[in-house]
Amino acid sequence: MQAVRAHELAIQRIIDGLGGLIIWDMILSPFYTCDLMRGLTSDMPLPLHESWKWELKVRTECLFLHEEYKVSSTSFVGRRFFNSPWSASLHPQLVSTLRSLRKLVSLYESVVSSSWGQTRMDNDGLLLLDHELLYLAQDQSLPAFQDTLRLTALIYTVVRIRGFSGMPCADIFVNTLRKSLENSLKFLDANAPDLLLWIFFIGSLASRDRRHHAWFSRRLQVLASTLGLEQWDSAMIVMQEYLYVCRPTDGFVREMWETAFEEKVVET
C-alpha cells in the first residue's frame, strides 16, 4: 500500500505540473479508474478532483444518466431499493445513483427492449456512478445500513460489470464490507432481511475462492434458511430485484449457492 500511495502522489504531481486535470479532460478515464481502485482499497478515500468538462461530456452522452430517461416498468432490476419500507429514508444522492445504476444494469444486461447500443463513453458513465458511491462514504450523516448498501452496490459494479471477482484486491474491499456490517448488521437483520441477504450474496460472489468467502457464505446460508429461500430459483428472484441479473454463463453462481447448503462452511 505504501508503494501505491507513492505512485499516486507522483501522478498527482505530474498532473498538477501540467496544468491540472482540466487539460487532460478527454483522456481521464484511466486516472479515474485508478482512483476508483485506490478508493476500494482505502477506508476513507480522498477524491481526485474531477474535471467539470469530463463530467459534463459524460452526463450529456450517457443515456442512463439522463433523469428524463425511464426504464420500462417491466424491468425487475433494483425495484426493491425504491419500494421497501426503508426506502423513504435513503440519502437523496444514494437514491439518484441507484436509479442510474438500475437503468445501466437493465440496459447492459438486456433486461428491457431498447435501441440502446453500448459505447466507450458508457464506461465513463459507470465510472462516474462508481465515484459517486465512493465519495458518498465521506458524508457523516449517512446511516450505517445505507453505507453498507452503498458499498455493496459499488462492489457489485466492480465484480459483475468490471469483472474483478476473485482477484487479490477483492480481499481488501470485501473485508471493508465485512467491517461495515459490524455497524449495520443488527438494523438490517431486524428491518431489511432481504436486503441483508443480497449483501451477503454479493459478498460471497466477490470473495469466491478468496479469504473471506466462508464468512459471507455461512451467514448467507443461515439467513436464506430463515427466510425460506434455500432454493436458488427462489432466492434469485430476490437477488434480481436488487442488483443482479442471472446470465447464461452463471452456472458457477448457482453452484456457489447450492454448495453453501450442501457443506458445512468453515470460517477462516
pLDDT tens-place string over residues 216-268: 999 999 999 999 999 999 999 999 999 998 888 888 999 999 988 876 555 55
Q: At which residue does the C-alpha cell 428491457 appear?
A: 112
pLDDT at 9: 63
* The pLDDT of residue 149: 97
* DSSP 8-state class, residue 136: G
pLDDT of residue 23: 45
User: Are 243 and 101 contacting, i.e. CB atoms less than 8 angstroms apart?
Assistant: yes
User: What per-residue confidence (pLDDT) applies to 259?
Assistant: 87
User: How far is CA 118 from each of CA 121, 123, 171, 248, rounded to the nearest angstrom?
Assistant: 8, 9, 30, 20
Position 75 scores a pLDDT of 75
**What is the rounded CA–CA span in Å between residue 76 and residue 180?**
27
The cell 501522478 sits on which residue?
Answer: 11
Q: How many CB atoms sit inside 10 A of residue 191's CB?
A: 13
Distance CA 80, CA 77 (A): 8
Domain range list for the chain: 2-262
The whole-number pLDDT of residue 20 equals 54
Answering whether pTM is above 0.85, one says no
Helix (H, G, I), strand (E, B) or coil at 109: coil
SS3 of 154-193: the string is HHHHHHHHCCCCCCCCHHHHHHHHHHHHHHHHHHHHHHCH
pLDDT beneath 70: ranges in the chain: 1-50, 52, 71-74, 110-121, 164-168, 263-268
